[in-house]
C-alpha cells in the first residue's frame, strides 16, 4: 500500500486519551486527502500507554508504533518520528486531541509550494495563564528567529519529510521547526485551525516549559543558526 503521509503522535502517559485517539484517527484516515498512516511514538510512558498502543496497532492496520526505553521529552519523540517516516509528507498531532485531525486536510491543501505548513490555534480553549505565557513565549521567539509565526507551539503541522529529516534536533527545538525550515531556505506558512479544551489526562508543560525554557532555547537556536550547514547536491556521478 503506497502511503503519502505519516501522522506522528507523541504519547507520554496518555492512557485516558488513547481510546478516543484511536477512534478519531481511524475515522479520519479514509477522509484524508493523502493516503495516510499513523505512527505512535511512546515516550517512555510510566502508565499503561504502551500496552494500549500495542493493542491499537493490532486492531488498526494503518497504525504502527515505536517505544522509548525511558522518557526523553517531546522533541526526542518528534525526532524519532522524523527518523522513522518513509513517506514524502509527515505531520504531527498531540495525543490529547486539542486539535482536530480533520484540519490536516486544510494544511495539506497548502503544502504544494511550501515546505512546512503549521496550524495557528484559533480561539484557544486554554487557561488565561497558559494562553498568556504562550503568547509571551511566541513573541520572544519571533524576536530571535524572525520566522513570522504566531503559534509555533500548535501541535498540528505538515512538513515535507526531506526537510524534516535534515533538522538537527535538540531538546526544545519542537518550538523552532518553522525557523529550522527557513535555515534550509524552505518556505513556510501558517493556517488557522480549531482548538479544543483537554478532556482527559494532564498537561505535560508548566510555566517553566512554556516561558522560561523557550527563552534559554532561543540562545541555543542563535548558536545553531551561526553554525548551521546548508547545501544542495547539484549532480551525482
Domain harbouring 190, CATH code? 3.90.550.10
In a domain, 236, yes or no: no
Provide the residue-wise pLDDT of the chain in tens; the chain has 237 residues: 699 999 999 999 999 999 999 999 999 999 999 999 999 999 999 999 999 999 999 999 999 999 999 999 999 999 999 999 999 999 999 999 999 999 999 999 999 999 999 998 876 655 555 655 666 666 666 666 677 777 777 889 999 999 999 988 777 777 889 988 998 999 999 999 998 776 775 655 555 555 566 677 777 778 877 887 787 788 888
Work out the widest C-alpha separation in the chain, in whole angstroms: 58
The pTM (predicted TM-score) of the whole model is 0.84
In a domain, 237, yes or no: no
C-alpha cell at 144: 530571535
Q: What is the pLDDT of residues 140-171, one digit of tens each?
A: 666 666 777 777 778 899 999 999 999 887 77
In a domain, 205, yes or no: yes
C-alpha cell at 106: 486544510
In a domain, 234, yes or no: no
Residues 108/89, Cβ–Cβ less than 8 Å:
yes
- Structural domain span for residue 18: 5-227
In a domain, 212, yes or no: yes
In a domain, 54, yes or no: yes
CA distance 68 to 10: 11
Residue 7, helix vs strand vs coil: strand
Residues 146/124, Cβ–Cβ less than 8 Å:
no
In a domain, 49, yes or no: yes
In a domain, 235, yes or no: no
State the total domains in the chain.
Answer: 1
Amino acid at each position: 500500500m503506497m502511503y503519502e503521509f505519516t501522522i506522528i503522535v507523541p504519547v507520554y502517559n496518555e492512557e485516558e486519551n488513547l481510546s478516543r485517539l484511536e477512534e478519531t484517527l481511524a475515522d479520519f484516515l479514509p477522509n484524508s486527502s493523502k493516503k495516510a498512516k499513523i505512527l505512535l511514538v511512546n515516550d517512555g510512558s510510566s502508565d499503561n500507554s504502551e500496552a494500549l498502543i500495542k493493542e491499537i496497532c493490532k486492531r488498526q492496520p494503518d497504525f504502527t508504533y515505536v517505544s522509548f526505553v525511558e522518557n526523553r521529552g517531546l522533541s526526542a519523540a518528534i525526532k524519532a518520528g522524523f527518523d522513522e517516516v518513509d513517506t514524502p509528507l509527515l505531520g504531527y498531532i498531540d495525543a490529547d486531541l486539542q486539535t482536530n485531525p480533520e484540519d490536516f486536510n486544510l494544511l495539506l491543501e497548502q503544502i504544494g509550494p511550501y515546505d512546512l505548513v503549521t496550524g495557528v490555534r484559533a480561539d484557544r480553549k486554554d487557561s488565561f495563564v497558559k494562553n498568556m505565557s504562550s503568547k509571551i513565549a511566541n513573541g520572544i521567539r519571533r524576536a530571535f528567529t524572525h520566522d513570522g509565526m504566531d503559534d509555533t507551539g500548535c501541535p498540528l503541522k505538515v512538513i515535507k519529510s526531506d526537510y524534516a529529516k535534515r533538522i538537527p534536533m535538540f531538546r526544545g527545538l519542537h518550538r523552532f521547526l518553522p525557523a529550522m525550515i527557513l535555515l534550509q531556505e524552505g518556505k513556510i506558512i501558517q493556517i488557522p485551525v480549531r482548538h479544543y479544551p483537554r478532556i482527559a489526562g494532564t498537561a505535560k508543560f508548566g510555566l517553566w516549559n512554556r516561558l522560561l525554557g523557550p527563552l534559554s532555547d532561543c540562545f541555543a537556536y542563535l548558536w545553531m543558526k551561526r553554525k548551521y550547514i546548508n547545501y544542495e547536491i547539484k549532480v551525482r556521478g
